[in-house]
Every structure is written in C-alpha cells, then in structure tokens.
Amino acid sequence: MAKFPELQTERLVLRRLMPSDAPAIARYRSLPEVARYQSWDAFTLDDAERLVADQAAVTSDASGTWLQLAIVASEVVGDCGLHFLDEKQVELGLTLDPGHQGKGLAAEALRAVLDHLFGTLDKNRVVATTDAENAAAAALFARLGFRREAHHVRNVWFKGLWGDEFVFGLLAAEWGRG
Ligand SMILES: CC(C)(COP(=O)(O)OP(=O)(O)OC[C@H]1O[C@@H](n2cnc3c(N)ncnc32)[C@H](O)[C@@H]1OP(=O)(O)O)[C@@H](O)C(=O)NCCC(=O)NCCS
C-alpha cells in the first residue's frame, strides 16, 4: 500500500481507510440525508467493506486513482476522496456523518488536505463537483476560497431527474502560494 501520511488538525486525524472503519462508513453513508446528493442510494456494510478492501490496491498520487481517507475524531466522523486527475490536478469529495456536521469539521479536514496537496505534493489546481442543490457543499467550498467555475445545466441524469452541477476550483496561487 502506498504511503500517505496521517494529516493532523486541531480536532481530527485524516488517514487511509482500515477494515475496522467499514461499519461507521456504512452507517452514515446509508442515511438518506447523506446519500441525497451522492452517487449511491443505499450503502450497505458489504459496500463499505468493498470500498475499504479496494483501497488496499490504490497507490497515492497515481493519476486516475481515487484515494479514500477516513476523517477521525474520537470515532470515524467522515471520509474524504482524493481523485488524482493528472500530475498537477486533484478532485475532492467529502462525506461527513450528520452527527458531526455544523461544527466546522469538514472545513478543518479540507484545509489539512489542501495544505498537503498544494504544499507537500505541489499540485496546481484542486476541483470539486457538487449537485447545484447541495447548499452545504457550495457553502463549504466557498468558505475555503474556491471559485465557482461552472454551472452545468441539466448535464447529469441523477436519481430519476436531469440535474445541474457546479464545478468549484482553487489554484495553488490562491491558497497562499505563488
Ligand atoms: C458537505 C458537508 C461535508 C458540509 O459539512 P459542514 O459540517 O456543513 O461543513 P463545515 O465543516 O464547513 O461546517 C460549517 C458549519 O459549522 C459551523 N461551525 C460551528 N463551529 C465551527 C467552527 N469551530 N469552525 C467553523 N465552523 C463552525 C458553521 O457556522 C457552519 O454552520 P452553518 O452550516 O449553519 O452555516 C456535509 O453537508 C455533508 O457531508 N453532506 C453529505 C455529503 C455530501 O453531499 N457531500 C458533498 C459532495 S462533494
């Protein structure tokens, strides 16, 4: 398994997934309010165990791969996906247990991830695609300084309807590096 360092913040540790994370991930990912704007509807323990198992083969910082991190406080409170698009660009995804939302933990986790991507891994651009109706996600990326670069209109067939998506982007230079 490729090394990815543990990222520490004031309240959190971000690290690669481990088998014991599966029950927590299945529990919060299967909640309707969490699944609402995500690619899944149900998310079973089997799905979570497969996610963790598949991650064992994932190499960090390899173009074309999604690296999944657990966001841990006293327990697993969420997970964060890093999609290495190419050598210089990364796409992010984030899911937080509703019991731990509204406390600034998502922003705290992503700040550590962005410091690592721009600082240690020398990436140039980070992007995130969100459902245009996902106000919490839009607020999160705006709070971190992302620009809304695109509003794609009815571009995705999503849970039985055509949906709109926003694309948010942030450059290394905008994260305080030149
Ligand atoms: C998107 C998501 C991660 C955002 O989580 P979040 O907890 O709202 O985000 P933040 O960590 O930035 O927290 C911000 C909130 O915490 C509050 N807060 C409380 N204490 C805080 C602190 N110490 N520091 C900062 N904010 C704090 C803020 O006021 C804000 O509240 P508000 O939403 O009422 O304005 C979450 O809604 C989620 O997991 N949704 C389901 C999955 C999903 O749709 N993911 C998006 C796909 S990319």
Q: How many CB atoms lie within 10 A of CB 176?
A: 11
Position 67 in a domain = yes
CA 57 to centroid of ligand 1, rounded, Å: 31
Q: What is the 3-state secondary structure (H, E, C) of 75-87?
A: CEEEEEEEEECCC
Position 165 in a domain = no
Position 51 in a domain = yes
Q: Does the beta carbon of 104 sit less than 6 angstroms from any atom of ligand 1? A: yes
Position 176 in a domain = no
Write down the pTM of the prediction. 0.96
We report the CATH number of the domain holding residue 17 as 3.40.630.30
> What is the count of structural domains for the chain?
1
Asked whether residue 15 carries a pLDDT value surpassing 50, the answer given is: yes
Q: What is the 3-state secondary structure (H, E, C) of 58-116?
A: CCCCCCCCEEEEEEECCCEEEEEEEEECCCCEEEEEEEECHHHCCCCHHHHHHHHHHHH
Position 40 in a domain = yes
**Index of the ligand 1 atom closest to the CA of residue 108:** 11
Position 122 in a domain = yes
Q: Atom 35 of ligand 1 has which residue's CA nearest to it?
A: 102
Position 140 in a domain = no
Range(s) of the domain holding residue 26: 7-126
- What are the pLDDT digits (tens) for 129-169? 999 999 999 999 999 999 999 999 999 999 999 999 999 99
Q: What is the pLDDT of residue 117?
A: 97
